[in-house]
A and B are shown apart, each in its own frame.
Chain A
Amino acid sequence: MSAHVHSTFRRIMPQLIILIAVLFLNFLVFPDFFRIEFQHGRLFGNLIDVLNRGAPTALLCIGMTLVIATKGIDLSVGAVMAIAGAVAASLVVDGHSWQTALLGALAVGAICGLWNGVLVAVLRIQPIVATLVLMVAGRGIAQLVTEGTILTFVNPGLIHLGAGTVIGIPTPILIWIALGLLVTAVVRKTALGMLIEAIGINESSSRLAGINSRVLIVSVYLISGFCAALAGVIVAADIKGADANNAGLWLELDAILAVVIGGNSLLGGRFSILASLIGALIIQSVNSVILLSGMPPEFNLVIKALIIIAILVIQSPTVKHALYILRASAEPLPSDPIKEAKESPQ
C-alpha cells in the first residue's frame, strides 16, 4: 500500500510543485492570501475562493480526464453545462422540487454524453468533430429550454447547491471533492481504469484481447456529460439563474487545459484524475493571482496562454528528448575499462 501511495505521490509531484509556486505568487501579491476566517457560519478566505470558484473546471476535468485517456476529447462540456442549468432552472420554475430539477439536469447531461459516445464509438466519427456538433448545437438547445431569456429562480434548495454551505464549507467544494473521490475509487477499485488506459494506448490490441471498447468509450463520454451537468447546475445555482449564452462559455478549454497540466497525454493512455484536479486548482490560482495583483483581467487569458505554451513545450517529445540528452551528458559516464586502458598510455 505504501508503495502505491509513493508512486501516486511521484506522479503528482510536478503538479504539486507548480500549484505551490502559483499559490506562493498569490501570497507575494496579497500577503493575506492564506488567511481563513470563520464568519456567519461560513469559511472565508482567498484559498477557499480558489477551491470554490474552481469547482466547475474541477468537475469538468474529472470526466474529461477519462475521455482523453481513451484518446478522445469532449468539446461539448461547456454547452452541456448550459443545457443542464437551463433544464434545472425551468424545472424549479415550473414548480418541481430541487431534487427533481437536479436529477432531471443530470439525466439530460448523461443523455448528451451518450449522444457523443455513440457518435464516437459506434459511428466512428473523430471525437473532436463528434463533440463539436453538440458544442455548437448545445447552446441553441439551452436557449430553446429557457425560451431565450435568462431564467431566474428562487428555489432555496437548488440555490444551496451553488451558494450554500455545509458545516461552514461551500457546497461546490464538497461536491467536486466527493465526485473526484467517487470516480477515482470507481475506476481504480474496479478494472475500469486499466481497461480505459488499454483502449487509449492501443485500441486494436485491446479489441483483440476481448475488451468491449465500444461500451467503455460510450461510458466515458456519458460520465463526462454527467460531470458537465453537475457543473452546470452549480453555476446556475450560484447566480440563481440559467444563462444559456454564457454559462460554461469556453470552460471546455479550461477543462482540457487542466487535464494537460495534470500531465495526462492528449494521445491517451495512463491518466490521473487527482493530477487533473490539481491542474484545475492551478488554473484557478492563476486567475486569483491576476485578480489579486490588481492587473487588468485582460491579462488572465494571455498568462493562461503562456502557461499552456510552457507546458506543451515541456511535454513535447523534442524537448523531452533534449532534456534526456542533457541529463545523460551531465552525468559522469560509467567508467569504461577498455577505453581507459586505451587512453592511459598517452
Chain B
Amino acid sequence: MASATEPVLECRGISKFFPGAIALDAVDLTLYPGEVHALLGENGAGKSTLIKCLTGAYRRDAGKILLDGEEISPGSTQDSQKLGIGTVYQEVNLLPNLTVAENLFLGRQPTRRGLISQRKMLTMAGDLLAEFGLRINPAEPLSAYSVAVQQVVAIARAVELSGKVLILDEPTASLDRDEVQLVFSVVEKLKARGLAIVFITHFLDQVFEISDRATVLRNGRVIGTRELKNTSQTEIVTLMLGRQLEDRIQDRAPARTGDTLIELKDFGKRGVMEPFDLTVRKGEVVGLAGLLGSGRTETAGLIFGAIQADQGEALLEGRKIGLGSPREAVAHRFALCPEDRKNDGIVGDLSVRENIILALQARQGWFRPLPKAKVNELAEAYVKALDIRLASLDMPIRLLSGGNQQKALLARWLATNPVFLILDEPTRGIDVGAHAEIIALIEKLREDGMALLVASSEMEELVAYSTRVIVLRDRRQVRELKGDEITTSNIVAAIADDTMAEAV
C-alpha cells in the first residue's frame, strides 16, 4: 500500500558526528503517509539522535531531509513544528496546572477583540478532542486526567500544530495495557487521516501490534527496514542485537551446585515488576536476559532492597528475611554492583581506597572504624587480585577508567565477603581486557561456591558463564533455560517469544 504513494518524509544519508564518536552514519529513512513506522534499536543505537536531527534539536552534519520532496533544515523544534513535524515525548511536555483547552491552544488562543475568548477556546477544544475519541471536560486542569489522556492531549496538540509527520518517542513507557489501547486507537485514527507516524518503543509486542514497517538502527547505522507483516520477532531481535548467532556449547565445568541459598516467592512490585519466583543455589550463576526495559535492572533492585517489593517473600537458607533496604540486604551478606556505575556505584570524590572499604565500613557502623593497617591491606590485596590499574590508592575513583572503576566496585563488595552477589551489566562500557577479566572472576567466584545473579544485555557473555538463564520480557519472567538449552539463539527466541506459547 505504501509504495503506491509518494513519501512524505525522506532522510537521505543523514550523518551526525560528536567529538570522538559517529552518532549517525549515513542513515536513510523513508516515511509514507498513512503508515506507522517503528524505529528500533538498543540504547546508543542512534534513535534519539536521528529524531533530534529531524526535529531541529541537532544540526545534521551531512545528508538531506526531504519533506514532500522539498529539502528542509529545521533550526529548532518550533521550526520543524511549523514545517509539519510534531513530536510527543515519554514524559508529557505539557503544563499540568493549566486546563486541557489552554494546553491545546497555548500560544495561539482564539481571540476576540484582542482578548482570549475562553468560550470559543473551550468549544474548539471539545471538538478537537472529540475527533480523537476523547470525551473529557476541556475546562478541567490537565492534571485531573490520567497520563494516557494527557498523552492523547499532547498528540492532539502536536497534530494540530504540525499535521504531516508525528514522532512518538516512547509514548507508552509509563502506561498500562488499557491505556496503551487508548493511545493506539488514536494512532489508528491518525493513520487513517494519512499522517506518517514514527513510533519509538522498547516493547516489541506493541511494535508488531501497531506498526506497518520497522527500521532497525545499530551503532548509528540502519541495519535494515522490514515490512512487519512478513517478519518474525526473532528476525527483528537479531537485527537489533546483531549477534552472530552461532550455537556454541560452552565447555563449562559441570555445575556442582550446592544447597539452595535464596528463594523468592511471588516477589514483585506493582507497576515495576510482575511477581516472580526465583531460586538461586550456592555455586550457581543465574543469568538475566532480556531487552532494555524488560525488567533486568528492576529484578536486581528488588532483590537488593533498592526497590522495595510490595508483595511476596524472600527466604535465605530457608529462613524468612526482610529486604526493605540495601542496608538490610547488605546485613544478609548480599551485594549489588549496579548498572549505572557513575550515579549508583562509585563515590567519585572519595579515594579508591575509601571506595573499596565503603560497604564493609558501612556494615560495621561508623563508630567501629576499620584500622588503617587493615584498610591498606584490604585495598592493596584487591588491587592486586583484580589487577586494578591506578597511580595511587589515594586518587579519587572518578579518575579511573570504566573497567577499573568496575573492578574497584567488585572489590568493594568482595571485601564484605558476600554469599550472594548481584551484578547488573558488569561489563558495560569497559575495555576488552577488563571485560575478559571480569568474566573470569565470575567463573572463579562460582567455583568457590558463591551464588551469583548476573543481568546482562550481552548474550554471548550470559551463555559463557550462566548455569541457568532466565529470560525477561515486558517486566515478566517468560522462560528459564538450563544446561544445553543455554544458547544465544534460544535466548533470542525467548525474547522474541515467537511460539507465543502462553496467552498474554
Interface membership of A321, Cβ < 8 A: no
- The reply to whether A209 and B358 contact each other, CB–CB distance below 8 Å, is yes
Smallest CB–CB gap between A94 and chain B, Å?
37
User: Are A192 and B344 CB-contacts (below 8 A) given A197-B349, A269-B349?
Assistant: no
CA distance A189 to B367 in the complex (A): 9
CA distance A198 to B354 in the complex (A): 9
CA distance A212 to B327 in the complex (A): 7
How many interface residues does chain A have, given as a range? Answer: 20 to 34
Interface membership of A326, Cβ < 8 A: no
A residues 201-253 touching B (CB-CB < 8 Å): 201-202, 204-212, 216
B residues 357-399 touching A (CB-CB < 8 Å): 358-359, 361-370
Give the most central of B306, B349, B364, B367: most A CB within 10 Å.
B349
- The reply to whether A201 and B348 contact each other, CB–CB distance below 8 Å, is yes
Interface membership of A191, Cβ < 8 A: yes
Interface membership of A195, Cβ < 8 A: yes
CA distance A121 to B345 in the complex (A): 21
- The reply to whether B354 and A205 contact each other, CB–CB distance below 8 Å, is no
Chain B residue nearest in CB terms to A269: B349
- The reply to whether A205 and B349 contact each other, CB–CB distance below 8 Å, is no
CA distance A130 to B363 in the complex (A): 29
Chain B residue nearest in CB terms to A268: B349
Interface membership of A194, Cβ < 8 A: yes
What residues on B are CB-neighbors of A189 within 8 Å? 369
Q: Mark B329-369, 1 if CB is under 8 A from A, else 0.
A: 11100001010000111111110001000110111111111
- The reply to whether B366 and A208 contact each other, CB–CB distance below 8 Å, is no
Q: Mark B293-316, 1 if CB is under 8 A from A, else 0.
A: 000000000001010000000000
CA distance A204 to B304 in the complex (A): 14
CA distance A119 to B280 in the complex (A): 40
Q: Which of B344, B348, B350, B364 contacts A208 (CB 8 A)?
A: B344
CA distance A82 to B370 in the complex (A): 40
- The reply to whether A205 and B346 contact each other, CB–CB distance below 8 Å, is yes
Interface membership of A190, Cβ < 8 A: yes
CA distance A158 to B364 in the complex (A): 41
CA distance A270 to B369 in the complex (A): 18
Q: Which of A191, A198, A206 contacts B369 (CB 8 A)?
A: A191
Q: Which of B329, B346, B359, B370 contacts A202 (CB 8 A)?
A: B346
Interface membership of B47, Cβ < 8 A: no
Q: Mark A139-168, 1 if CB is under 8 A from B, else 0.
A: 000000000000000000000000000000
- The reply to whether A195 and B345 contact each other, CB–CB distance below 8 Å, is no
Q: Which of A198, A201, A205, A212 contacts B344 (CB 8 A)?
A: A205
Interface membership of B412, Cβ < 8 A: yes
Smallest CB–CB gap between B426 and chain A, Å?
15
Q: Which of B326, B348, B350 contacts A207 (CB 8 A)?
A: B326
Chain A residue nearest in CB terms to B394: A7
Smallest CB–CB gap between B209 and chain A, Å?
36
- The reply to whether A195 and B361 contact each other, CB–CB distance below 8 Å, is yes
- The reply to whether A210 and B350 contact each other, CB–CB distance below 8 Å, is no
Give the most central of B329, B345, B361: most A CB within 10 Å.
B361
User: Are A190 and B345 CB-contacts (below 8 A) given A198-B350, A208-B326, A211-B358?
Assistant: no
CA distance A229 to B34 in the complex (A): 72
What residues on B are CB-neighbors of A194 within 8 Å? 350, 354, 358, 361
What residues on B are CB-neighbors of A201 within 8 Å? 347-350
- The reply to whether B349 and A208 contact each other, CB–CB distance below 8 Å, is no
- The reply to whether B306 and A198 contact each other, CB–CB distance below 8 Å, is no
What residues on A are CB-neighbors of B327 within 8 Å? 207, 210-212
- The reply to whether A209 and B354 contact each other, CB–CB distance below 8 Å, is no
Chain A residue nearest in CB terms to B369: A191
- The reply to whether A209 and B343 contact each other, CB–CB distance below 8 Å, is no
- The reply to whether A210 and B359 contact each other, CB–CB distance below 8 Å, is yes
CA distance A207 to B328 in the complex (A): 11
Q: Mark A244-276, 1 if CB is under 8 A from B, else 0.
A: 000000000000000000000000011000000
CA distance A101 to B504 in the complex (A): 71
What residues on B are CB-neighbors of A195 within 8 Å? 361-362, 366
- The reply to whether B326 and A210 contact each other, CB–CB distance below 8 Å, is yes
B residues 24-60 touching A (CB-CB < 8 Å): none
Can you list 14 A-B pairs, Cβ within 8 angstroms, ordered by A? A191-B367, A191-B368, A195-B362, A197-B347, A198-B354, A201-B349, A205-B346, A207-B326, A208-B344, A208-B345, A209-B330, A210-B331, A210-B362, A216-B366
Nearest 3 pairs of A and B residues by beta carbon: A210-B330, A210-B362, A211-B362
Extra inter-chain contacts (8) besides given A191-B368, A208-B326, A270-B349, CB under 8 Å? A197-B349, A201-B349, A201-B350, A202-B348, A205-B347, A207-B326, A209-B347, A269-B349
